[in-house]
A and B are shown apart, each in its own frame.
Chain A
Amino acid sequence: MRREQTLADRISGSALWRSVVRHGYPDTQRNQALIIASNVFLHIHPVKIKRYATKVTYTFCLGGLSFFLFLLLTGTGVLLMFYYVPSTDLAYQSMKDIQASVTFGQLMRNMHRWSAQGMVIAVFLHMCRVFYTGSYKPPREFNWVIGVILLVVTFLLSFTGYLLPWDQLSLWAITVGTEIGGSAPFVGSQVNMLLRGDYEIGQNALVRFYTLHVIFLPLAAAFLMAVHFWRIRKDGGISGPL
């Protein structure tokens, strides 16, 4: 007996809908496989997975959480970019404006700030989880190396963002931070000049940190993440007991 066609059936059966969504309602294994395989965002996953890999107490969701925070930071960061001006004259005032006059500006700024702190912690803990479950062992050696580079990029992303509010906290944290980098043997003063673009932290440093923070490092992180995720699957999926 055919049930009556509902409005939902008509919409999901229409040519327009079918041109976008290629699979039926995912209540059969076939459609559950298609929804993963035919969706550009979901096809990062395999269609099926070992049961232990879905256990939260195995991964603690830390890698996924790091990625989620990266996406959240990208979203809130783009919104902040509409108002933030990377100039030593205007940066601090634009921060004040974001907090005081922009609708939801304070919330976006806070979410960006706390997500950034959270991402540093999540990435570090993710490294610990991968280490303590022995997941770096062959054939996953190179993905571990990429992960270590991603940890460094995460530190740099957070560090370059630290200067942008252009308050006393920013200026002196970056002064101390770049001095640490500038203490490198033999190339210290060059490293310092490369980071600051000047002898002191001023307009040149702000533009450098801004460019690194909003374009270069996010692209580098995205590129490395693509390789990192791809290799999880190529190296046999998430690690598990033998």
Chain B
Amino acid sequence: MADVAQELPGGQQFPPNTIDEAKRQRLLELVRGRAMARPTDLAEDEVMVWPSLVVVEAVCAVVFLLIITALSILVNGPLIDRANPNKTPNPSKAPWYFLNLQELLLHMNAGLAGVIVPTIALVAIAAIPYFDRSPLGVGILGTSAKGRKIIAFTVVYCVILLPAMIFFDELSGRTVFGIGRYLREQLGMPELIYNGILPAIVLVALIFIFVGIIKAIFRPTRRELFIALFTGFVATYVILTISGTAFRGEGQALAWPWDLLQIHH
């Protein structure tokens, strides 16, 4: 055995009698790879946070710092006359991000518009993940082509429906399209009914009709239905904010934005 030259891969040969039998080990296999896993081992789809993410954050921070600084140099924050409790401006308006509620307040009972509706909206938004649990579509903006169609449809639907509703309720003297006035004047019902329960029924009915339309047109999955509802919320929030900010003048009557400029500072 010791006399026979040993053949190695690649055709090389050990000369005989040069291997110490006592120390001899068998080579089983050669494996290409790292000795052990290290924390910096990167998978194919991974990058190092430094620099790949940190640089994005740094650039964003610098860009927005410059934008805010430039804006602050060019435009001063408003500071009008000293507060005077005896002089009520007309119209008096809440901060702009609450003007959606103030707009809603014109059309129904204050408790309903100012507290109950926003509370239900926030709780409903917080509860979304406990009702929509399927992991399908995670990480894809709008989930699917159908999801994006639903977003577009919902936005168009709200942009047409909500201003029309605001306008027609205004025409009826903000009495829930005249139904409220009928309940009050003809049937002598209390404020809670014609200004609270009636608009609440209208709101719930509107949501159910909307869901019905979405289901009939799109046959959505649960995720896609939630996309419709959430988009409806966002569109409503934005439209009511714009209406309350730019289209409400003296006595909260509907007005054109350019007519408000004289009042607003």
Contacts and interface: CB of A to CB of B under 8 A. Distances in A.
A172 B102 CA distance: 13
A30 B89 CA distance: 64
Contacts of A141: 129-130
Given A42-B54, A51-B46, A95-B79, A171 B85 contact: yes
Interface in A126-170: 127-128, 131-138, 140-141, 144-145, 148-149, 152, 155, 158-159, 162, 165-170
B246 interface: no
Given A26-B51, A32-B51, A132-B141, A188 B83 contact: no
Contacts of A99: 76, 79
Interface stretch (A7-15, A110-118, A215-223, A224-232): A110-118
B47 interface: yes
Contact of A167 (B64, B81, B140, B141): B81
B115 interface: yes
Contact of A241 (B56, B60, B140, B234): B140
Contacts of B40: 29-30, 32-33, 47-48
Interface in B95-147: 95, 97-98, 101-102, 105, 109-111, 113-116, 122, 125-126, 128-130, 132-143
Given A168-B82, A168-B84, A46 B93 contact: no
Interface residues of B, number: 78
Contacts of B141: 58, 132-133
A144 to B, nearest CB: 5
A40 interface: no
Given A169-B78, A183-B105, 18 more contacts: A42-B54, A49-B53, A61-B60, A72-B65, A107-B72, A114-B72, A131-B128, A131-B230, A133-B139, A134-B139, A138-B133, A145-B126, A155-B98, A172-B93, A175-B92, A177-B98, A180-B94, A201-B85
